[in-house]
Structures are given as C-alpha cells and as structure tokens.
Structure 1
Amino acid sequence: MSQPSPLPLLGAAMPSDALPTYRDWLVDGQRDLELQDFFKPEVLSGDWRPLARRIRAELQGHSGRLGIHGPFWGFNIDTQDPDVRAVVQKRIDQGLDVCEELGADQMVVHSPYTTWSYHNLDNQAGARGKLQERVHACLGEAVARAERIGVTLVIENIEDIDPHARVRLAQSFGSERVRVSIDTGHAYYAHVSTGAPPVDYYVVAAGNLLEHVHLQDADGYADRHWAIGEGSILWPGVFRALGELTSNPRLILELRDNSLIGQAAEYLVKAGRAR
C-alpha cells in the first residue's frame, strides 16, 4: 500500500527587515522564502549590494528555496514603445543581478494580460500573436541569461481572466526557465469582479508549469492580501488542485500585514492543508 504524500510546505514573502522575526520559522522548517526588497526602483537604482550581503548573513543556515519578486512598478512586459522596453529590460536585468548575488533561483514577473486585453485581443486579427512577440522582444535576452545562471522566471497573474493565456505565453519560450505563478487573491478578484473562472481552475490550467503560488485571502472585490481565513476563497478546492501536481510549487504566504504570517500558516496547518 503506497504511503500518502506529505502535506505541502508553506513559505512566505517578506521584505528583509522582517527576516529577524521569521528567521527561526524559516530555518527550522527550511521553508521557501521570497524577498520583496528588490522590485523597488529606488533600491535597484541605488547600491543594493550591502543590503544583499546583510540578507545573506541573516540567512546563514537557511537551505530552503530562495526567490525574489522582480521589478514591475510602472511598466508592462508587452510594452509597444522601444524606449520603454529598454527600461523594462534594464530593470529585469537588475533583478537577475540580485538573484546572482543572493543565490536566488526564482524571480516573479507580472503578466501582461489585462481586463482590456481579454475583451479586445480577438477584436483585431493577429493581436494575440503580436502581444506574444512584444513579450519575447522584451524578455528574450533575460530568458537566455536566466538559463545561463539557473534562475526561473515565473509569470504571475494580475488581471488575467483567461487562466490559459499566461500558460501559453510561458510555453511559447520553449524554456525550462520560464514557468507560471498564481496569486490566489488576484485570481479570486478576477473571478468575482470580472467573470473569470474560480481559483482552482487557475491551478488546473497551469498544471505542472506551476512553480510558484502567492497565498493570500480576499473578498473578490480588491487585492486584499489578507491572512488565510479572513476572506472567502474556497481553500479546499484550491489545495485539492495543488495536490494533483508534481511540480512542487513554492507556496508563499504573501500578506499585507507580515505580522499575520504565523496566523495564516496556523490556519492552513490546523485545516490539514499544509505544514
């Protein structure tokens, strides 16, 4: 008789100033960590290497998987303006610099698909292919570098209504270093407010291309980033869908109030969903 697979392991996203609070929890469980210092323009444009050195020192003894949230403020990876594209490429490259410095092997980037694009990509012939071409023009060199340095770019849903479009975009690179991320609160917002499928459908659509999940609870009206149990996401269905995967995605608690990470983790542990 086969043994049941272990419950998935929870990790968390946080800025580096929260590491002293959660270091023991992260190290004792060797949990996955996503650092959230390095999407800020003022950090990337400054001397961030002393901060990276402090983080490495703080994480001595941590062998869980390490990633960062890549830059996203003020741009879209399918920009049509070549001058803006150059800025986006610079920021993504800076994020990869950080990954190399920290030894991180995953970086979150934001999906280009919007509510507008969902309703309009089929309004003009070839629009879907052109969007994909713009993303390749923007990220092609970054993907090649990511392959060289062993970093996976995971594309996170933001306004995505069609859970398959982002998956097809990731597949179009033909690279093991481009995969998919799901933010549960974003998916729930799209479901309740814009008519998208429910959250577990996003998991099923991604399948084993799913390598990263932002876990947050919400009400479907806004991007709440509440602790798990404070909103109305149907977690049993989400975790059943996750349980069908073999890709072992990082399950990252991403909360607006980092002081509630322990509360959110305890909720899922007590419910028998994770450890």
Structure 2
Amino acid sequence: MLYFSHLLEDEDTKAVIRETGMGVEAIEFAISENLNHLNEKIFSYQNRLKDMKCKNLILHGPFLDLNPMTFDDKIQAITRQRYEEAYTAAKALGAAKIVYHTCYVPDFYLLIGWAERMAAFFEEFLKDKDDSIEVLMENVLDRQWEPLKETAKRVQHPAFGLCLDIGHAHCYGEDSCAQWAKELKSYIRHVHIHDNMGNKDRHLALGEGSVDINAVMRELREIPKCTYTIECSTREAVMTSYEILKKYVCGIEIDKKQRKCYS
C-alpha cells in the first residue's frame, strides 16, 4: 500500500488521491497546538478526509521538544501525554499506523543504555493497547541502525515495529540506506520515501538525489505487507516519486540500462 504525506494543500491532496488511489499520512497531529484542541481537530480533520475521499490513513505523531528516553520524569510524562493524544486521534480516525521519531540527537545523547530506555518507554506506552494500530519508531538524525534494531528486539508487543526513512538514513546514517534496510528489515513495517544528495535532508522526488533506490528496494521487497509513504512537499514531486515507486512495488527494478521484472 502506498501513501503520501499530507504536506500538500487539501485540493492538491484530493487530486493526488483521485489520480493514484494512494492513502494519506497525516501530519495534523504532530503539531502540539493541534493536540491542545484534540477533539476539535479530530472532528475537523475527519471532515477534511471525507471531502478528500481518503480511505486509507496513517498518522505521524508529535516529535518537537519531546524525548522518550529522557532521564527527566517530567519530560517523559509530557512525551507520553503527547504520544497518547496522537494515538487517540489515530484510533478515532481509523488510522492503520502511527509513526513516532526516535528523537535522538547525536553528540548530545549517549547511546549507552539508549535502547534499553527506549524499549522501556514503548513497552509502558503499549501496555494498555491492542494491535489494531501499528506503533512505529522512525530514524531521523540517527547515525547507526544498531540502536533501533536493539530497541525493536526488546519491545515485546505485536503492534511495535520500525519505520525506515531512507532519506534520513542517506544523509545522516554512517552506512548506506540499503544497508539500513538489510539490517532492519525483520522489524520494518513502513518506509518513508524521499531523496537527497547525502548532505542535507531535502525531501526531493525520487531520482533527484543520490539514493540508490534499486539497492534499497531489493531489500525492502522481501518484507511482507510493507507500506510506503512518499514524503515530498509538492504535487509534482509526489507524482514523480509515485510513478517510480509503484514500479518497484509491482516488482520492477529501474536501471539506466535495463528494466528487470522480479515477478
């Protein structure tokens, strides 16, 4: 299943849904101000989704100023509160998945004990939840894939998994994003798709940067029922990425010299 991020105006979002049948990954509930007026925003977004004829939904959770692995119990409490509020919205709107950032900041937070604390946070967060909504942890500034893998190993809940952001892995990771996909694919349930030149997180259309999408998709196509969100901020970039991505999802590898069908 393919999705695209609701970074576009509603009319453009509606047009892309009509043209492609893709679902939407909402960013409405990643914003703290909206969480302050949760019921009102759930109601208004419900109506917007209906107008856009969106049938498939994922939510992006809040992340600014939050930190799941913090040693400060008050910061952890507000992080959990914001996560709960976004989860409430996901439940009310019928979202299939909700994505939360790791919130890791290199050179500021130590990795010693990081996975243990992240796992403890998510196990507590998931204690009263069923598996109707997948709860996914996304890499952002993370340089190494090992802590994410260790966290995923430790969280013993059927709803928990990883969201691999290939653009983030490409410009922040120490290994290639194909290597990230290879090492994490046992836990990956969702993927964020965008491109860059490896030096800045630019959210370009596929093919406009230097991500080796062939190498990445060779790994990701082995994941059953994996879903993908195109994270680009213009309609043109979304459609360009869609035309490329749908070929991979259908089992076709794009190459400058040839196309090879895996099916």
Q: TM-score per shorter chain, which class?
A: 0.7 to 0.9
1:143 corresponding residue in structure 2? 126
Contact residue 70 and residue 107 of structure 1 kept, 8 A = yes
2:259 corresponding residue in structure 1? none
Deviations 1:79-113 (A, max 9, x none): 11111111101100001110111011211111144
Query: By how many angstroms is 1:30 displaced?
Result: 4.1
2: CA distance between counterparts of 1:140 and 1:251? Answer: 25
Query: By how many angstroms is 1:263 displaced?
Result: 2.2
2:203 corresponding residue in structure 1? 225
Kindly provide the amino acid, as one letter, of the partner of residue 94 in structure 1.
Answer: E
Query: By how many angstroms is 1:52 displaced?
Result: 2.7
1:36 to 27, 43, 50: 27
2:136 corresponding residue in structure 1? 154
1:48 to 24, 28, 41: 41
Between 1:172-181 and 1:42-51, the stretch displaced more is 42-51
Structure 1 residue 101 and structure 2 residue 78: aligned? Answer: no
For structure 1, list consecutive stretches of 5 or more residues without a partner in the other structure. Answer: 1-8, 122-126
For structure 2, list consecutive stretches of 5 or more residues without a partner in the other structure. Answer: 251-263
1: CA distance between counterparts of 2:10 and 2:124? Answer: 32
Query: By how many angstroms is 1:55 displaced?
Result: 3.1
Report % sequence identity. Answer: 22
Aligned CA distance change for structure 1 residues 144 and 105 (closer, same or farther; 3 Å): farther
1: CA distance between counterparts of 2:52 and 2:58? Answer: 13
- Give runs of aligned pairs for residues 104-123 of structure 1, distance below 5 A: 104-116=95-107, 120-121=110-111
Structure 1 residue 178 and structure 2 residue 160: aligned? Answer: yes
TM (norm. structure 1) is 0.81
Task: Describe the SS at the equivalent of 2:167.
Answer: helix
Task: Describe the SS at the equivalent of 1:273.
Answer: helix
Deviations 1:37-94 (A, max 9, x none): 110011111231332331342254x443x21000001122111111111110110000
Structure 1 residue 13 and structure 2 residue 12: aligned? Answer: no
Deviations 1:222-267 (A, max 9, x none): 1110111111111110111112222x22111001334521122224
Task: Describe the SS at the equivalent of 2:229.
Answer: strand
1: CA distance between counterparts of 2:18 and 2:234? Answer: 21
TM (norm. structure 2) is 0.84
Aligned length: 248
